[in-house]
Amino acid sequence: MRSIGLATVAATIAVALGLPSAAIAQPGLCELGANGIEHIVYIQFDNVHFRRDNPNVPSDLEQMPNLLSFLEQNGAFLANHWTPLISHTSVDILTSLTGVYGDRMGVPIGNSLRYFNPNGASSPAGSFAYWTDPLDSFVANPTDTTPQMIDRQGKTHPAPWVPFTRAGCDVGAFATANIELENIGLDITTVFGANSPEAKEAQSDPSKAVADFEGIAVHCAQGSALCPKTASQLDLLPQEPGGYSGFRALFGNKFVQPQISPQGPVEDIDGNVIEDSRGNQGFPGFDSSAAQTLGYMATMLEAGVPVVYGYIADAHDDHINDVAFGPGQAGYVQQLVTYNEAFGKFFGRLAKDGITPKNTLFVITADENDHFVGGPPTPANCDGVTTPCTYAQLGEIDADLSRLLATESGNTTKFAVHADSAPTFYVDGNPGQFDKVTRDLETAVGALFAFNPITGKNDQLTQAIADQQEQAFLHMVTADQRGRRPLSCSMIPTIFCSPPAVSLRARRSRHVRTKTRSLPGTTATFSPRSPRPGSVSSGPACARLASQRISSRTTPISAQRSSALPD
């Protein structure tokens, strides 16, 4: 099952729909297949867990009974939805959208990465960028301008909305990676042009430009009334297999809202105008709540957009105060209460619109699978719901690799890293994987120990090391040769490795510290539980899937902790 699990989300849609080939549908006729499917609702969670992180505290899904009940009554649970290594938001979402790992679609490392310049130094880049962008470099004069979404042939990977728009169906997206604008720099230039009014707004009023242009898009079928020429841009995919011409798209709330909600601003599922923290109407940012995402998706569906994608931010962070939550903390529980209420209103609203599992394919999945990092809760038997939990120790532990290496082994090799619990190393000079400098660094990294404030012990940090060949086996090497890395490694799940330039201080060690205002856990890196966040589908034809029925009540929680069920 592992060999077929990596593409489960994309495969689920394809199997359920039986989508047609590259032939273009008649204008105004949306054909989603022969299974009675008229709509597709694709919801991408950030770190929502099916299993319990604390055996006494109900899991995220258990605390959202409106969603859990909907899935139990209508859904099929795919337990072998294996995420890529290294697992992060952008990489996971793009793997789900495309059905292939990063070596085949261009993003094997996220949410940031580096690439090598001709002089052997490396430069920073990001993995969140519009589908047809060149590599989103963070430097003024990048040396790598290959496609962001580069496939094995060196071209832009096929876009996930194309099968639908070719079938005559408009596709809406809210906050979903790389299928709408992700920034107001490179993305604005790519879609609108360097001298466009949109580019000028991005320069003069950046916060308003984010609300106006980022995070929201509708990719239209040919001849769709939602994409008049006065409000839309050409949906350019010059390297799309089979060609893609005559299609248009709406980019940003400034152009989408008048088409889907001409009576006024789009509202969240609770009836509040969707706006950012400054009061700019439109995209609220990529930490969108369940109410905001579901409200915009519902409005798109009601306006006749039959295929919608939406991303919902994790519930284990306080996105206003930038504070991490532990299982059962009051803020975490309250956030899940609001998510639960939002899903109840969402499903009720869609049912009144005639959008139900009888005619709609619902796909709900989660990325990344963060693990909780912290000490024991107080009181020890807290359940969060009736008795809130508090934590004296909470948050990831940061380690400065350059200092640890210099102190423990005397290795002072110059390198940069993709900061992570599975850091990727970019060694200055870009030496080969068999060079002595690379092998010496691997040996030193493999021998690292550090004091762990959570366990109170000196722990060996490195669990696994991968050179270039091993990274190729792990689907981490793309067709862009400048992205090759001499080595990558996974540290223990509590350790987050920082760039060498960062100075860190903590008790008993100068080079390791606990962060209380950051992630409550580390991302999925090297663990039997890490690669399977799971995916749920409901709707026509889902019974045909070889799958396991979802129920948090059929398996005792104690058994879930060691079973094959995903988080």
Low-confidence ranges of the chain (pLDDT < 50): 1-8, 11, 15, 20, 500-524, 526-531, 543-567
Kindly report the number of other CB atoms within 10 A of residue 556's CB atom. 10
Q: Identify the pLDDT of residue 501.
A: 35
β-strands 390-391, 377-378 pairing: antiparallel
| pLDDT tens column, 439-481 | 999 999 999 998 888 888 888 888 888 888 888 888 988 999 7
What DSSP designation does 312 have? Answer: E
Q: Which residue has the tokens 């769709």?
A: 224
- Helices then strands, each counted (H, E), the chain: 16, 27
Quick one: how far is CA 12 from the chain centroid? 19
Whose CA is closest to 277, among 264, 288, 269, 267?
Answer: 288
Q: Set out the domains of the chain in order of their start, with CATH numbers.
A: 2-107+149-369+530-560 (3.40.720), 397-514 (3.30.1360)
Helix, strand or coil, per DSSP, at residue 467: strand
What DSSP designation does 311 have? Answer: E
Q: How far apart are CA 132 and CA 148, in angstroms?
A: 7
Q: Identify the pLDDT of residue 302.
A: 98
| pLDDT tens column, 142-170 | 999 999 999 999 999 999 999 999 999 99
Whose CA is closest to 173, among 92, 91, 263, 250?
Answer: 250
| pLDDT tens column, 486-525 | 667 766 665 666 554 332 222 222 334 333 333 444 444 5
Q: Which residues of 292-315 are buried (b: 16+ CB within 10 A; e: fewer)?
A: bbbbbbbbbbebebbbbbbbbbbb
CB 384 within 8 A of CB 62: no
Whose CA is closest to 222, among 32, 24, 31, 38?
Answer: 24
Q: How far apart are CA 493 and CA 496, in angstroms?
A: 8
Q: Identify the pLDDT of residue 15.
A: 46
Q: Identify the pLDDT of residue 102.
A: 92
Whose CA is closest to 281, among 269, 293, 272?
Answer: 272
Q: How far apart are CA 535 and CA 524, in angstroms?
A: 16
Q: Identify the pLDDT of residue 24.
A: 63
Length, in residues, of the chain: 567
Q: Identify the pLDDT of residue 326.
A: 93
